[in-house]
Chain A
Amino acid sequence: MAGYIGNLALFFSLIFNGFLIFSAIKEIRSNNFNNFKIINFCNNSIFFLLLISFLTLIYCFTVSDFSNVAVYQNSHTTKPLIYKISGAWGNHEGSMVLFILILSLFSFVFARTKVSEKLKFYTVFFQSILILIFLIFLILTSNPFDQIDPKPLQGLGLNPILQDPLLVIHPPFLYFGYVGFSLVFSFALAGLVTNNFDKSWSKVANFWIILPWSLLTIGIGLGSFWAYYELGWGGYWFWDPVENASLMPWLAATALIHSNIVTLKKDKLHSWTALLSIFTFIMSLLGTFLVRSGVLNSVHAFANDPYRGVYILSTILLITFFSLAIFIIKKPKKSLYGKYSFFQRDNFILINNCFLIFFLSVVLVGTVYPIILDAISGKSISVGPIYYHTILAPFLFVFLFFMSHGPLLSWNKEDKFLQIKNFKIFFPISIVISLVIIFWFFDYKDIILILGLLFSVYLIVSIIFDWITQKKLSFNFGRLISHLGFGTLIFAIFINAYLSKEINAAMKVGDEIKIQEFIIKFKSINKIKKENYEEVFGNFLVTNKEKQVELTPSIRKYDRPVQFTSETSIKTNFIVDYYFAINLSEFEKEKIMVRFYYKPLMFWIWLSILLIAFGGIYQTFRLRNEKQI
């Protein structure tokens, strides 16, 4: 019954959408934009109908209505309630509903903001075209309300690896980020079409770029954190295509935030900002395609139907084609270059924009090239961390250097001498700090490590200096926090990469082994039974010269579907993580394979990501309040 309501709501939202586009085209033809009422009414209705549809789907999952295919395939009565609810977006169909709902939500909220009628009209129009495309996709190829008759008595269950509290919130954050960029995309097209791409455009766009960017940052952070403690490989970023898929829009959006500031402050770089607005959303769509079409094999690959892949591919390329064609035709002509000077803030931003696009290209090539090569020549190559680290590291240092000085430069005048003075302050301080760190902690010296520490410390020092001498703290607070977060993130990543230790061994109860500076004792093993799984705990005692830690990693055997997962045990003192995992395959045999990791500064990596996101969120609130005043 509920399924019918949801289905009906979907169809009606499709009808309203068609009507919205139809009447919008009529308005455009007659060239008067005073009939915003109808458009607005349709826009609101679409949002509420989609909301109803999504809530209905959640309801079906909550009450385990197995007559619904999506519920049958992804849920089970014995599953805890929270995972029943999150099951609604833990599958292809449900997540597509969420995708469209967010498209519509952004359109709904945007229509309520203070923007010129014409811009608003076109933005809502372009946004509704996106909604239409994805609604048709949803209804034709992946309707979440498909019924099974007769109704099965039990569902197949949710992949246990996805039964995790973090994964309840990870996809929504990621989606708000990914899909949120659609609004800036539509808004950019609206600006182009109406020849309104100028400072006032940037002022409004600022909010709509930073908001999804902050949410995407959190989403990526959550995914990474989940991979760290759930997958049990001791790592937090694997350069997996799916992770890259979320990193690419992030990089594009980071470039966009900065170029948009230049457009706002100096009325420059219009075309570049417009192009990045389009490009950021295309990167989100590419991510959606990679994850959803079955091109990749991963936990995220829900859809196995090849037609879905072809549909997503064609729509994404059509959207790309039309948006870029609009850009080519309506490219903003106006460009105020003014006096060029190297030591000027906009120039440093532009340089770092180029670096960000370079990073993006490296990730794009690393992700897409192996897939295409495999399909064309049948050759498999693996592009792993070494590729990314080797190519990215040297450029990252230069990037950090420009990032340190950029914000200290003036927008309008050349202040070369001030920067040389700053350099004379920052450089000795950071070199002392990084050398102390290196000689204190490290037995061997690696040039990449030294440079990494030097430049990240340099950035942090410059931010602290900026902070102390700051006259407009509340205005710059968001930027300072995000940049500080980035500095500490790079610092923590480098320390972590070079100081981490890993021990692999086969052990049985009672064993005690001594490897490197650690003594590991396997004390006992015990078993418990929970609602939807059985768990076997190993009890280990790890001792080194600093401290003694007791760790209890486990193996879970889930009932539906039957699957084993490894639960790690992590103890942290905020400086170092002690991380323990046991292997799945040797389950309940005499000896089990154990893995112990010593991971410094992991906490600081998570904290840094939070800082980066927090800076963005602070900024959006500030922008919001500013507008109301």
Chain B
Amino acid sequence: MKNKYKIIILGITIVIIFILFLRVLNSNKTYQPNQMIGKKIPEFILEDLLNKNTKLDSNILSGKDFAILNIWASWCIPCRIEHPFLMDLKDKNQINIIGLNYKDESMNAKNFLKKYGNPYSLIGIDKKGEVAIQLGAYGVPETYVLKRGKIIFKHIGPLNEDAVNKILELKK
């Protein structure tokens, strides 16, 4: 009889521990989107995708009041989903969008832009994905909002209505 109570107490303790740790697991600390926020973007110089003579220099970005840096690739399916949002941001809101073409073939990237339109004012070729890593990117697509070269907001994954509204708010 006494053992029964002991086992019940043990069981309750275990359940409490389970619930506690479940909360720990769900608090999901591995996801840290603001790691780079507030920091200056790392320095890099990349060749432009469409124009061989121009270079994408991180110093140009630092000089700009407000800009968006978007990491994309032609092989990335979610990039196609977010593409209309980028086109809108450029056409309707006159936002300067800079592309970072991540681990891509130039031919495919150019075809992609021909097919879906080009929202970018400049596109850096990040063939080996080095710049993306320095930026602390989690994958493609990923979007950074820059104010005078400082990262003030970051969106992981394809852009959506909420993210676009947030960006427009930040521009004000």
B25 touches A295 (CB 8 A): yes
B18 lies within 8 A of A295 (CB)? no
- Given A313-B21, A317-B14, A562-B133, are A306 and B26 also a contact pair (CB < 8 Å)? yes
Give the chain B neighbours of A561 by CB distance below 8 A. Answer: 133
In the complex, which of the residues B3, B20, B25, B133 contacts A293, with contact meaning CB atoms closer than 8 Å?
B25
Q: Is A297 interfacial (CB-CB < 8 Å)? A: yes
Report the separation of the CA atoms of residues A324 and B3 in the bound assembly, to the nearest whole angstrom.
Answer: 11
Assess whether A115 is interfacial by the CB under 8 Å rule.
no
Per the 8 Å Cβ criterion, residues 1-53 of B in contact with A are: 3, 6-7, 10-11, 14, 17-18, 20-30, 32
A235 at the B interface (CB under 8 A):
no
Question: Which of A313, A320, A325 meets B7, CB within 8 Å?
Answer: A325
Please, which residue of chain A has its CB at the minimum distance from the CB of B27? A375
- Is A468 an interface residue, CB under 8 A from the partner? no
- CB within 8 Å of A: which B123-160 residues: 128-130, 133-134
Question: Do B22 and A324 touch (CB < 8 A)?
Answer: no
Closest residue of B by beta carbon distance from A307: B25
Q: Is A304 an interface residue (CB 8 A)?
A: yes
Give chain B residues whose Cβ lies under 8 Å from the Cβ of A297. 29-30, 32
> Which residues 82-127 of A sit at the B interface, judged by CB distance below 8 A?
none
Q: Does B18 lie within 8 Å of A314, measured CB to CB?
A: yes
Q: Which residue of A lies closest to B15 (CB)?
A: A317
Q: Which of A306, A325, A372 contacts B10 (CB 8 A)?
A: A325
How far, in whole Å, are A306 and B27 apart by their CA atoms in the complex? 10
How would you classify the secondary structure of chain A's contact residues: helix, strand, loop or mixed? helix
A376 B23 Cβ-Cβ under 8 A = yes
In the assembled complex, the Cα of A321 lies from the Cα of B6 at a distance in Å of 11
**Shortest distance between the CB of B27 and any CB in chain A (Å):** 4
**Are A562 and B134 in contact, CB atoms less than 8 angstroms apart?**
yes
A541 to B140, CA, bound (A): 46
Alpha-carbon gap, A293 to B28, bound state (A): 10
Decide yes or no whether A28 CB sits under 8 A from chain B: no
How many residues belonging to B are interface residues under a CB distance threshold of 8 Å? Answer: 25
Nearest-CB residue, chain B, relative to A301? B30
The reply to whether B10 and A328 contact each other, CB–CB distance below 8 Å, is yes
Task: List residues of chain B with CB within 8 A of the CB of A314.
Answer: 18
Q: How far is the CA of A1 from the CA of B124 in the complex (A)?
A: 39
Neighbouring A residues of B30 by C-beta, 8 Å: 294, 297, 301, 304
Docked-complex contact A329 and B3, CB < 8 angstroms: yes
Residues on A with beta carbons closer than 8 Å to the beta carbon of B24:
295, 371-372, 374-375
Interface centre among B21, B25, B30, B134 (most CB of A within 10 A): B21
How near does chain B come to A323, taking the closest CB pair, in angstroms? Answer: 10
One of B17, B25, B32 near A310 (C-beta < 8 A): B25
**A306 in complex: contacting residue of B7, B25, B129, CB < 8 Å:** B25
What's the nearest-Cβ distance from chain B to residue A147, in Å? 19
Judge if A309 is at the interface, Cβ distance under 8 Å: yes
Q: Do B25 and A313 touch (CB < 8 A)?
A: yes
B10 nearest in chain A by CB position: A324
On chain B, the residues within 8 Å of A304 by CB distance are: 30
B-side contacts of A328, CB under 8 Å? 3, 6-7, 10
Q: Does B27 contact A321, Cβ atoms closer than 8 Å?
A: no
Which B residues are in CB contact (< 8 Å) with A562? 128-130, 133-134
Question: A291-313 interface mask toward B, CB cutoff 8 Å, 1 = contact, 0 = none?
Answer: 00111010001001010011001
Whether B10 lies near A294 (C-beta < 8 A) is no
- Contact, CB under 8 Å: A376 / B20: yes
How many angstroms between the C-alpha atoms of A306 and B31 in the bound complex?
11
| B-contacting residues, A325-371, CB 8 Å | 325, 328-329, 371
Is the beta-carbon distance between B14 and A310 smaller than 8 angstroms? no
Q: Is the CB–CB distance between A320 and B133 below 8 Å?
A: no
Bound CA span A310–B22, Å: 7
Q: Chain A 374-412, CB within 8 Å of chain B: the 1/0 string?
A: 111000000000000000000000000000000000000
Report the nearest B residue to A318, measured CB to CB.
B14
Name the distance in Å between B31's Cβ and chain A's nearest Cβ.
8
* Contacting residues, chain B, for A295 (C-beta < 8 A): 21, 24-25, 29
The contact of A320 among B14, B27, B134, by CB within 8 Å, is B14
Contact B130 A309 (CB under 8 A): no
Q: How far is the CA of A324 from the CA of B130 in the complex (A)?
A: 51
Cβ contacts under 8 Å, A372 to chain B: 20-21, 23-24
B11 adjacent to A321 (CB under 8 Å):
yes
Closest residue of chain A to B18 (Cβ to Cβ) is A317
Give me 25 A-to-B residue pairs in the complex whose CB atoms sit less than 8 angstroms apart, sorted by A's number. A294-B25, A294-B29, A295-B21, A295-B25, A297-B30, A297-B32, A301-B30, A304-B30, A309-B25, A310-B25, A313-B21, A313-B22, A317-B17, A317-B18, A325-B7, A328-B10, A374-B27, A374-B29, A375-B20, A375-B24, A375-B27, A376-B23, A562-B129, A562-B130, A563-B133
The 8 A-B pairs at the shortest CB distance, nearest first, are namely A375-B24, A375-B27, A309-B25, A375-B23, A562-B130, A321-B14, A328-B6, A294-B30
Given A306-B26, A313-B18, A329-B3, 19 new contacts (CB under 8 A): A293-B25, A294-B30, A295-B21, A295-B25, A297-B29, A297-B30, A297-B32, A309-B25, A310-B25, A313-B21, A313-B25, A314-B18, A317-B14, A324-B10, A325-B10, A372-B21, A372-B24, A375-B24, A562-B133
